[in-house]
Amino acid sequence: MSRRLYRPRPATVQTGVDGTPVRVGRAQVESLREEWRVEDRWWTARPVRRRYFELTLASGANVVVFCDLGSGRWYSQTGG
Amino acid sequence: MGAAPSELPDFASKRNPALFDPVALAPEPDRAQVVGEVSGAAQALGIHPGMRVGEALARCPGLLLVPPDPERAARAWEAVLGALEGIGAAVEPAAPGEAYFDAAALRRMYGGNVEGVLARARRAVPAPSRWGVAASRFCAYAAARAARPGRGAKAVPPGAERTFLAPLPVTLLPAPLGAELAPALERLGIRALGELARLDASDLADRFGRQGLRARELAHGRDTALRPRIPGERLSEEIELPEAGSGLQLLRALELLIDRLLARPERRGRALRALRLGARFVERGTWRRDVPLRQAHSSRERLRLALLPRLDELPAPIERLSLTVVAYGPPVADQLSFQRPDEQERRNRLAEALRQTRAAAGTESVLRVLEVEPDSRVPERRAFLTPFGE
């Protein structure tokens, strides 16, 4: 049985007025390290449109979260 | 090196006198529903080991399915190995019914030649058997297959291994090579071991990797060194259950067996690494399960926790339960070998470790990362977790 690595996991993210995350779960975002977009498979019926953020939390942990621009849902992901 | 692939004890003629009828070994209740060994009459009707039961019965509605008796088969095979060790042979057991020993090492004890050794070995082994003598394990196996049961041994002179093996089919290669490599070789038109031996090593490595090189070595009559087992290490306890045993009664019987086994002085304080649970059903037939432990230990409670779930696999009430030590933990005084183990032996050890891990923790306990689109911008497309091959 095979399974994918780095699968996105649903995350609870609060955003500021500019749409950047200010809180991930219960943790406060300390700083925004990087931001990028992924637009892929636009030629298929299931295009991938994501806005990624690499964040440092108040605890010192680094996390990568993205907003699925199609559904508006947030996910966290490793391997980004 | 000698080989003694004896007839499988499951099918000993004393038990089944009607072997001229189409007879096949039935599958165990919770295993793959395929037939085991088959009689000559069944074979003539197109039934072969590994065929699905439904298909076998469709081909031969009168096929007699004999319930397997793994406990009795294991005891009979152990008696054969013990008999060989009784004459001083350092025996390497392979598949059930197949064992190897260095006949040359015993020459001085039995007449100064290999024939004397074989004559003594044949007297020691009561079961009908076939014998082969050759310089390598695989060649000895092929020679034994060519010998007739109850007749003299087939001997391959030193240096003639490649010539002897040349006309034999590639399907003779031992597991897992025989099952995995032989069909691909046959599709490429390579049907005989001689044709395989003539191929260039680099071509085989390109197409089949390590397995191809190993098969070529075997076809040349070369094999790894023997790894004999350490004899006299079996420790077993059993208990008769006067009324059909199940549920709580079975649990108590298991606890009693564990206590008895741990109390045996022959254990000499060693921890246990692998155990075998055996049972005899009230109706007919036997059952057994090997239980490798994640860590060698001698704690009663941990042994109980490891063995208890296996009792749930019993398909029917039983009248006898047995517990056998299959392997001990390494004694403190053990030293490592001076010689560095060769590549094949290291791979065998790794494969054994994988098998034990899977047996203890499930089939998905050992996985590998397979990169499929390592440069994809979408992380979940980059890699998969897939089962780690043997």
ipTM of the complex: 0.85
- Quick one: tokens of A20? 């950047």
Residue linked to tokens 């080989």: B3
Cβ of B378 within 8 Å of Cβ of A40? The answer is yes
Domain ranges of chain A: 9-76
pLDDT for residue A71? 92
Check if A36 contacts B (Cβ < 8 Å).
no
Instruction: Give the one of B376, B381, B386 whose C-beta lies nearest to A2's C-beta.
Output: B386
Contacts of B364 in chain A (CB under 8 A): 1
Instruction: Give the one of B364, B369, B377 whose C-beta lies nearest to A5's C-beta.
Output: B369
pLDDT for residue B82? 86
Could you tell me if residue B230 is inside a domain?
Answer: no
8 Å CB contact between B38 and B25? yes
Domain boundary among B44, B68, B92: B68
8 Å CB contact between B133 and B106? no
B208 and B268 together in one domain? no
Cβ of B379 within 8 Å of Cβ of A1? The answer is no
Could you tell me if residue B349 is inside a domain?
Answer: no
Check if B370 contacts A (Cβ < 8 Å).
yes
Check if B358 contacts A (Cβ < 8 Å).
no
Check if B369 contacts A (Cβ < 8 Å).
yes
Could you tell me if residue B31 is inside a domain?
Answer: yes
Which tops the pLDDT comparison, B302 or B333? B302
Could you tell me if residue B283 is inside a domain?
Answer: yes
The domain tally of chain B equals 3
Strand ranges (DSSP E) for chain A? 3-4, 9-10, 13-15, 21-24, 27-40, 48-57, 62-68, 74-76
B interface test, pick of A2, A4, A5, A9 with most B CB neighbours within 10 Å:
A5
- Chain A closest-CA separation from residue B363 CA (Å): 9
Average pLDDT for B189-209: 89
Give the confidence band of B145 by pLDDT, cuts at 50, 70, 90. Answer: confident
Check if A46 contacts B (Cβ < 8 Å).
no
B366 vs B159: CA distance, rounded Å? 42
Average pLDDT for B148-163: 82
B194 vs B219: CA distance, rounded Å? 7
Instruction: Give the one of B369, B380, B386 whose C-beta lies nearest to A7's C-beta.
Output: B380
Check if B248 contacts A (Cβ < 8 Å).
no
pLDDT for residue B248? 74
* B274-326 pLDDT, tens digit each: 898 988 887 777 888 888 887 777 788 888 888 988 888 888 888 888 998 88
Q: What's A41's DSSP letter?
A: -
B247 and B316 together in one domain? yes
B207 and B268 together in one domain? no
- Chain A closest-CA separation from residue B386 CA (Å): 5
Tens digit of each residue's pLDDT, chain A (80 residues): 568 888 999 999 999 998 899 999 999 999 999 999 999 888 888 899 999 999 999 989 999 999 999 999 999 998 75
Instruction: Give the one of B378, B383, B384 whose C-beta lies nearest to A48's C-beta.
Output: B378
Which residue of chain B comes nearest to A79, CA vs CA?
Answer: B379
B244 and B322 together in one domain? yes
B115 vs B121: CA distance, rounded Å? 10
Instruction: Give the one of A5, A38, A40 whose C-beta lies nearest to B383's C-beta.
Output: A5
B63 and B15 together in one domain? yes
pLDDT for residue B16? 45
B240 and B211 together in one domain? no
Instruction: Give the one of A6, A8, A38 whose C-beta lies nearest to B377's C-beta.
Output: A38
B324 and B242 together in one domain? yes
Give first-to-last CA distance, chain B, whole Å. 27
Taking all residues of chain B, what is their mean pLDDT, rounded to a whole number?
Answer: 81
- Whichever domain contains B167, its CATH number is 1.10.150.20
Could you tell me if residue B289 is inside a domain?
Answer: yes
Cβ of A3 within 8 Å of Cβ of B370? The answer is no
Task: State the residue range of the domain holding B170.
Answer: 162-219
- If you average pLDDT over each of B99-103, B244-248, B258-262, which comes out highest? B99-103
Could you tell me if residue B266 is inside a domain?
Answer: yes
